[in-house]
């Protein structure tokens, strides 16, 4: 159930990311990052990205860890 939900959220974020690359209003890269974080919660790049966010925005990193993405 949880894996299916993660895949659905990642696909939706990827679609929004593609729309963001086409439309100048949406930041597409942000949605690609969210899709990556949802699909690979224990991946080394995700952990490195969360560590980078932790240096710049500790509250956001705490929320990411709380959601189980890092």
Q: Which of 48, 46, 53 is nearest to 32 (CA)?
A: 46
* 42 contacts: CB under 8 Å, gap ≥ 6: none
pTM of the entire predicted model: 0.57
Average pLDDT, the chain: 79
Contact between residue 28 and residue 38 where contact means Cβ atoms under 8 Å apart:
no
| 44-69 per-position pLDDT tens digit | 777 787 788 888 888 877 777 777 66
Res 42: pLDDT: 67
Q: What is the CA radius of gyration of the chain?
A: 12
């Amino acid at each position: 159930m949880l894996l299916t939900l993660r895949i659905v959220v990642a696909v939706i974020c990827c679609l929004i990311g593609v729309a963001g690359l086409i439309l100048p209003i949406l930041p597409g890269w942000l949605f690609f990052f969210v899709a990556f974080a949802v699909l690979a919660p224990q991946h080394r790049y995700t952990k490195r990205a969360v560590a980078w966010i932790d240096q710049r925005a500790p509250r956001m990193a705490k929320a990411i860890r709380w959601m189980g993405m890092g």
